[in-house]
Chain A
Amino acid sequence: MDHSLDTAENSENLKRFVIEPVSRVEGHGKVTLLVDDNNQIQQCRLHIAEFRGFERFIQGRPYWEIPILVQRLCGICPVSHHIAAGKAIDMISGVTELTESAYKLRLLLHYGQTLQSHALHFFHLCSPDFLFGFESELAGRNIVGVIQKHPELALQGVKLRKYGQEVIRVICGKRIHGTGCIPGGMNKPLSREDKHYLLGDTEQIIAWAECAVKTARDCYLANEPFHKNFAGLRSNYLSLVGDKGELNLYHGKLRLKDASGNLLFDKQDYCDYQNLIQEEVKSWTYMKFPFIKTMGKESGWYRTGPLARVNNCDYIPTPLAEMARQEFVAYGGKEPVHSTLAYHWARMIEVLFSAEKIKQLLFDPMITGKDLIVQGKRQSEGIGVVEAPRGTLIHHYQVGEDDLITKANLIVATTHNNTALNESIRIVCTQQINGREISEKVLNNIEVAIRAYDPCLSCATHAIGRMPLKVEMRHQQSGELISQLIKDIDGTLHR
């Protein structure tokens, strides 16, 4: 890993360039470059310059309010936060298994969301870079340009996203920030009319999703040698995978692969995330840098999101997406696919998977079931993890006896990718920019690399407060608790 551009040795005599705001991504970020007289870049950083403090201010709110409140972290994938918090709140209400109908409704909701978020990202935000070139004219390099030059493609993208948003609307009452997950289940069954309304378009959506995979693949392969190395990194990959090793975005166990594709860990319960992940703070950004504890910060960083998931899973449980996955894996050969720009290809494979999954679920008779709520015995802690469109999303809450939140910790998908994001833009600096006159067009290369990750800088600005640490020592054979040590947020230790 190339840390040399993290901090310039002597910043006084360098020229500063800034990309602010980073655009055609979701949320707020900026990039700064320090450049010497020979146009050699000496420092390059992606800053998250906003701070919101969610974990602090939701303390004191009642737990059932949390899924509705925290989705306001992010208007692009609110459903991910809604569901991750919903799963944590289920656990707090002592519910380990939802009714079949509630579970399937949640799946439908989550796949609707993945479809809309991925479509938005590719068609509305990133396609202009591929259709017109990374250094094309600024004026046309956006969705308006796509509408003018490639109206059919633009319309398909718009309609794919619309369909995903409609799935969300019929379940949650609104396309953005509705209500659905309540403790132990869902607040409304899917009506027969809504089911038929959605069913009407499934074939068309799957067909468009297949086109989307082709478009993303062809864009990537059209200029393969260049795209392969553009911001290219070798990294570890983290994601949830289902019980049988299948791609599963709603639930599963954590798997980590190294750059050669070897399993570093597998089948890890996500409730243990605190023992797996640590985070580094740097003074120039509000976004932390997570890494795998046992590996250390130098080599323990990893990537999450579509690329990680498609690389990590053993198979995709729907036929068309599985075929697309096999082609993707074959392209990678013996190793996982590392190209940063291949994120787009993997993302469209997930669009196809989501579209097929939605159809399956709509044909499932349980999807309109009315038995939607389970009750359990109240617990004091809950952890909910999902694979959000951008990667592994962790929500963790503690609740007092009075039902109010006492502690919260959220690690959002984009934060996991922080090191990779910074590394990618530094590689772009070295490969594409060094020595050149710095112009708006040249700088777009940096944004192209950032966009590949589909970073949700909106989520990333929420800022973090960690949970107290709990160390448990257990008997090796019996698993019995021998002793425990608890370290509170203020640093005090007790047993």
Chain B
Amino acid sequence: MSNHSNTFSIDGREIPFIAGETVMQAALKANIYIPHLCFNPEFPPNGSCKLCTCDINGRKKSSCCTEAKQDMQVNNETHELTVMRRTLVQMLFVEGNHYCPFCERSGNCQLQAIAYDLGVTDLHFPQFNAQRNVDASHPDLMLDLNRCIFCELCIRSSTEVDHKDIFTIAGRSINKRLAINSKSGLLKDTAMKVTDKSAHICPVGCIIIKGEGFKTPIGQRLYDQHSIRDLGNLRPESAIKAKSIVQPDVKPKKKLKLATCSLAGCFGCHMSFLDMDERLIELLERVELSRSPLNDIKTCAPDCDLGLIEGAVCNTENIAVLRHFRESCKIIIAVGSCAINGGVPSLRNNIDVKDCLDEAYLNGIGLVNPKVPIDKELPYLLEKVYPIHEVIKVDYFLPGCPPPADAFWKILNDLLDGKEPELPYDLLHFD
């Protein structure tokens, strides 16, 4: 049987393959993008992330592990699969501790890039707050296990290319973790070198080369310029265009009543709202501001159309404000990474609150009258910091830290025009 007679179809397109190739391998050669994280063409498949799941002859199968067969029918780009892949990505995010806003791999990270490609704007599930370690014992390398997605590429490359067998997976289910094969369990007691293949293989920000972070400026990072799809020259026509200001051509149908507030956040999201600059003047003609830190109205009008919430939930007062907003506003938009997944304030979730307070107000040096503040005017701190969707129902999510001004403009105009708000690829950021 000659090779060219071997074909199967992906989304109706006939693809050639060589006997023994997987669906993923054949698709890659044909410039068809199937989302994947744990697959790397240099290594045998691992089949752990399941992102490459396709509809293969009517059944859901990982395309990196399924051998291509003559006349196979594969569906890749279906709504159902997109929804499923989104869910998988959301689970990967909440399972670890991913703080894209200050992660040095942001913009160069495959997990993040796939989330952008799939249009993930929120994480849906409650945060796990997994206890994971940072191993910085090695002089040149650092492992931030908070970001590990268990793709096992480091294991495969260390064994097969470096012949060192440094990494392994230990524990099961929620205690699963990447472990180091050394007596101390530390990276410094292995033969790992910065030149090893495994030092450069991690698709996310777990294996880090020390002191190199943030050298690539924003705008020049891999996925700032190309979507993860475009990198395979799959959609060259859709390479990200220079950031353009979206100008709506439809005039507003009605005036919206808008309220905004900041919970545990840094006000950066509000500042980004103001970064609409002159467009603000236009916008403020079409929306009426109710409660907002920008004016002196301290309670929401009961008939607000729209509530923009910045910041995470860290104390009892935040909960009260949030409920007040939910009761008063028809639509609630969670704005920024703090509101959407806890963001930077939730870094305290792996530390005892009492520990934080004691360190600040009791054990400090140079303190006069050291005591932990407690007063009926101070709201109770919550044990953990929560994203707002864990406290109230949220209608839309506007990610970023902060979301760019153009994203505010786009989403508000969509709503003013009575359209379902949508974020184009170049306005979707987690950092």
* A contact set with B: CB distance below 8 Å: 19-21, 23-28, 30, 32, 45, 47, 49-53, 55-58, 60-62, 64-65, 68-69, 72-76, 78, 120, 124-125, 138, 141-144, 147, 151, 154-155, 158-159, 161-162, 165, 172-180, 182-183, 187-188, 274, 277-286, 288, 293, 297, 402-404, 440, 444, 447, 458, 463-469, 487, 489-491
* B contact set with A: CB distance below 8 Å: 101-102, 104, 134, 136-137, 142, 208, 210-211, 213-220, 262, 264-272, 274-275, 277-278, 280-281, 284, 289, 292-298, 314-315, 317, 343-345, 347-348, 350-351, 353, 355-357, 359-361, 363-371, 373-375, 377-379, 381, 401-402, 404-405, 431
What is the CB-to-nearest-CB distance from A442 to chain B, in angstroms, rounded to a whole number? 13
Contacting pair B356 A56 (CB below 8 A): yes
Please indicate the chain B residues that have their CB under 8 angstroms from the CB of A288 in the complex: 367
Contacting pair A49 B377 (CB below 8 A): yes
A57 contacts which of B142, B351, B373, B375 (Cβ < 8 Å)? B351
Given A49-B378, A72-B344, A403-B142; A24-B373 close (CB under 8 Å)? no
What is the CB-to-nearest-CB distance from B149 to chain A, in angstroms, rounded to a whole number? 20
What is the CB-to-nearest-CB distance from A299 to chain B, in angstroms, rounded to a whole number? 14
CA distance A447 to B298 in the complex (A): 13
B368 contacts which of A56, A158, A279, A284 (Cβ < 8 Å)? A279
What is the CB-to-nearest-CB distance from B128 to chain A, in angstroms, rounded to a whole number? 17
CA distance A93 to B211 in the complex (A): 10
Given A50-B264, A64-B211, A183-B211; A172-B365 close (CB under 8 Å)? no
What is the CB-to-nearest-CB distance from A403 to chain B, in angstroms, rounded to a whole number? 6
What is the CB-to-nearest-CB distance from A384 to chain B, in angstroms, rounded to a whole number? 17
What is the CB-to-nearest-CB distance from B301 to chain A, in angstroms, rounded to a whole number? 12
Contacting pair B365 A487 (CB below 8 A): yes
Contacting pair A75 B365 (CB below 8 A): no
What are 24 A-B interface contacts by the 8 Å CB criterion? Answer: A23-B296, A30-B377, A53-B357, A53-B360, A56-B356, A75-B265, A138-B295, A143-B294, A151-B281, A159-B278, A173-B218, A177-B101, A178-B218, A179-B218, A180-B217, A187-B214, A187-B215, A187-B216, A274-B365, A282-B369, A458-B265, A463-B356, A464-B361, A465-B363
CA distance A280 to B216 in the complex (A): 43
Contacting pair A281 B298 (CB below 8 A): no
Please indicate the chain B residues that have their CB under 8 angstroms from the CB of A143 in the complex: 284, 294-295
Contacting pair B365 A469 (CB below 8 A): yes
What is the CB-to-nearest-CB distance from B93 to chain A, in angstroms, rounded to a whole number? 18
What is the CB-to-nearest-CB distance from A382 to chain B, in angstroms, rounded to a whole number? 15
CA distance A165 to B360 in the complex (A): 33
Contacting pair A24 B293 (CB below 8 A): yes
Please indicate the chain A residues that have their CB under 8 angstroms from the CB of B350 in the complex: 57
New A-B contacts (8) at CB < 8 Å, excluding given A179-B218, A458-B266 = A56-B356, A60-B134, A62-B213, A143-B294, A176-B271, A176-B272, A279-B368, A403-B136
CA distance A283 to B296 in the complex (A): 28
Which 3 pairs across A and B sit closest by C-beta, in order of nearness?
Answer: A75-B268, A173-B218, A466-B364
Contacting pair A23 B136 (CB below 8 A): no
Contacting pair A24 B294 (CB below 8 A): yes
What is the CB-to-nearest-CB distance from A491 to chain B, in angstroms, rounded to a whole number? 7
Q: Nearest residue in B to A179 (C-beta to C-beta)?
A: B214
Please indicate the chain A residues that have their CB under 8 angstroms from the CB of B281 in the complex: 147, 151, 154-155, 158
Given A277-B366, A463-B360; A124-B274 close (CB under 8 Å)? yes
Given A142-B289, A286-B378, A404-B134; A281-B367 close (CB under 8 Å)? yes
Please indicate the chain B residues that have their CB under 8 angstroms from the CB of A491 in the complex: 363
Given A56-B356, A57-B351; A49-B379 close (CB under 8 Å)? yes
CA distance A297 to B315 in the complex (A): 31
Contacting pair A187 B217 (CB below 8 A): yes
| Residue among A19, A73, A144, A151 facing the most chain B CB atoms (10 A cut-off) | A144
Given A75-B271, A76-B271, A177-B101; A188-B217 close (CB under 8 Å)? yes
Contacting pair B137 A465 (CB below 8 A): no
Please indicate the chain B residues that have their CB under 8 angstroms from the CB of A188 in the complex: 217, 220
CA distance A262 to B361 in the complex (A): 34
Contacting pair B262 A28 (CB below 8 A): yes
Contacting pair B359 A155 (CB below 8 A): no
CA distance A183 to B203 in the complex (A): 25
CA distance A193 to B259 in the complex (A): 39
Given A120-B274, A182-B215, A279-B367; A69-B344 close (CB under 8 Å)? yes
Contacting pair A404 B278 (CB below 8 A): no
Contacting pair B136 A404 (CB below 8 A): yes
| Residue among B268, B351, B404 facing the most chain A CB atoms (10 A cut-off) | B268
Please indicate the chain B residues that have their CB under 8 angstroms from the CB of A293 in the complex: 366
Contacting pair A72 B367 (CB below 8 A): no
Contacting pair A162 B271 (CB below 8 A): no
Please indicate the chain B residues that have their CB under 8 angstroms from the CB of A178 in the complex: 218
CA distance A64 to B158 in the complex (A): 27
What is the CB-to-nearest-CB distance from B39 to chain A, in angstroms, rounded to a whole number? 29
CA distance A360 to B48 in the complex (A): 57
Please indicate the chain A residues that have their CB under 8 angstroms from the CB of B401 in the complex: 72, 177
Contacting pair B367 A278 (CB below 8 A): yes
CA distance A285 to B137 in the complex (A): 39
Q: Nearest residue in B to A117 (C-beta to C-beta)?
A: B271
Please indicate the chain B residues that have their CB under 8 angstroms from the CB of A75 in the complex: 265-272, 402
Contacting pair A283 B136 (CB below 8 A): no
CA distance A147 to B270 in the complex (A): 18
Please indicate the chain A residues that have their CB under 8 angstroms from the CB of B220 in the complex: 188
Given A69-B344, A76-B267, A124-B274; A52-B375 close (CB under 8 Å)? no
Contacting pair A56 B351 (CB below 8 A): yes
Contacting pair A490 B363 (CB below 8 A): yes
Contacting pair B274 A161 (CB below 8 A): yes
CA distance A402 to B377 in the complex (A): 42
Please indicate the chain A residues that have their CB under 8 angstroms from the CB of B359 in the complex: 55-56, 465, 489
Contacting pair A158 B214 (CB below 8 A): no
What is the CB-to-nearest-CB distance from B184 to chain A, in angstroms, rounded to a whole number? 13
CA distance A172 to B219 in the complex (A): 9
Contacting pair A283 B373 (CB below 8 A): yes
Q: Nearest residue in A to B343 (C-beta to C-beta)?
A: A72
Contacting pair A176 B216 (CB below 8 A): no
Please indicate the chain B residues that have their CB under 8 angstroms from the CB of A179 in the complex: 214, 217-218
What is the CB-to-nearest-CB distance from A240 to chain B, in angstroms, rounded to a whole number? 20
Given A49-B377, A68-B214, A182-B215; A62-B142 close (CB under 8 Å)? yes
CA distance A124 to B273 in the complex (A): 12
Please indicate the chain A residues that have their CB under 8 angstroms from the CB of B355 in the complex: 56
